[in-house]
Amino acid sequence: MNTELETKMANTKPVMNSVPKRKVNWKRILTYSAFVGPALLFFLVIQILPFIMGLYYSFTSWNGVSSVVEWVGIENYIQIFANDPTFFDSFLFTTKFMFAAVVISNLIGFSFALLLNAALKTRNMLRTVFFIPNVIGGLLLGFIWQFIFVKGFASIGNLTDIEFFKMPWLGDEKTAFWGIVIVFAWQISGYMMVIYIAALQGVDQSLLEAARMDGATSWTLLTKIIIPLILPAFTICFFLTISMAFKIFDLNLSLTGGGPFNSTQSVAINIYQEAFQNNRYGLGTAKSILFFIVVAIFTTIQVMMTKKKEVEA
């Protein structure tokens, strides 16, 4: 018995020793590094490092020019909450603008998508026409619409005597607000349209045909079948429009410059003026950190709510 056991153990040892060790696949690692490495490096240099530096400068009184950086702790944040009403006024304007712009731009974009998803002969041309405003830069677009509001509408109002065209679109607080909303929606709706069209083309047409055979109306098809199926597209579009509306800068700067009397000043313009015009870089970066936190909270809540609707649907 002992001889047989020793023989079996002797036979199993080479088998155990013959199991090859797992080698590190350097070729795969180098391949992944070649593709992911540059993007990760640029992300760290362009996004992460400036954010960390901005977080540091928000606790200083640096003027953006001097080599002397004085640490002041949370004094900048205390000053914002205690003695800076213009910042909160700009926050209120930006929040109101965000809600109006998100609703209008998504409503227009989704309507265009429904229209151009149908079998129209000119749908490809119309898709291009509606998307073109998104390609134009914000500053150029703002100056174009400034000319339209100031000169174009005034000329039409004088010719037709229609009160709508005779209003001081950029010279009054209320009309200037809606003027910025109109231009923003005009610029971004085409982009939202493309996302909604891509989602609509993924809807199974057999479901719609079966619902029509069962007597479903167009409104029922839209609210009970189409919208629940493309809720991921709404999640993306809401996220994009909320973040873009909060961060509006160039369009606001070229249209009104924050006027009249800072009534249409966005948070981005307020931060820009604080850091680069008033030379209070530390205070400006403190505002930008608070702004980042608020935008992150809004977008996170929005994504969580719409994702929850996707699951329920």
Q: What is the pLDDT of residues 79-125, one digit of tens each?
A: 999 888 899 999 999 999 999 999 999 999 999 999 888 877 888 88
Does residue 183 sit within a domain? yes
Does residue 31 sit within a domain? no
Give me the CATH number covering residue 253: 1.10.3720.10
Structure confidence at residue 311 (pLDDT): 59
Q: Which helix (H) or strand (E) holds 296?
A: helix 281-312
Structure confidence at residue 216 (pLDDT): 84
Could you tell me the pLDDT band of residue 32, with boundaries at 50, 70 and 90?
confident
The tokens for 221 are: 């098809």
Does residue 138 sit within a domain? yes
Does residue 39 sit within a domain? no
Could you tell me the pLDDT band of residue 22, with boundaries at 50, 70 and 90?
low
Does residue 71 sit within a domain? no
Residue 153: other Cβ atoms inside 10 A: 20
Q: Which residue bears the tokens 């040892």?
A: 13
pTM: 0.83
Does residue 247 sit within a domain? yes
Does residue 192 sit within a domain? yes
- In the predicted structure, residue 208 carries a pLDDT above the cut 90: no
Give per-residue pLDDT as tens, 152-173: 988 998 888 888 888 888 888 8
- In the predicted structure, residue 65 carries a pLDDT above the cut 50: yes
Structure confidence at residue 21 (pLDDT): 58
DSSP string covering 134-197, please? Answer: HHS-HHHHHHHHHHIIIIIHHHHHHHH--HHHHS-TTTSHHHHHHHHHHHHHHHHHHHHHHHHH
Measured distance CA(230)–CA(217) in Å, rounded: 19
- In the predicted structure, residue 8 carries a pLDDT above the cut 90: no
- In the predicted structure, residue 189 carries a pLDDT above the cut 50: yes
Range of the domain at 197: 83-312
Measured distance CA(87)–CA(80) in Å, rounded: 7
Could you tell me the pLDDT band of residue 138, with boundaries at 50, 70 and 90?
confident
Could you tell me the pLDDT band of residue 15, with boundaries at 50, 70 and 90?
very low
State the total domains in the chain. 1
Work out the mean pLDDT of the chain and round it to a whole number.
86
Structure confidence at residue 213 (pLDDT): 87
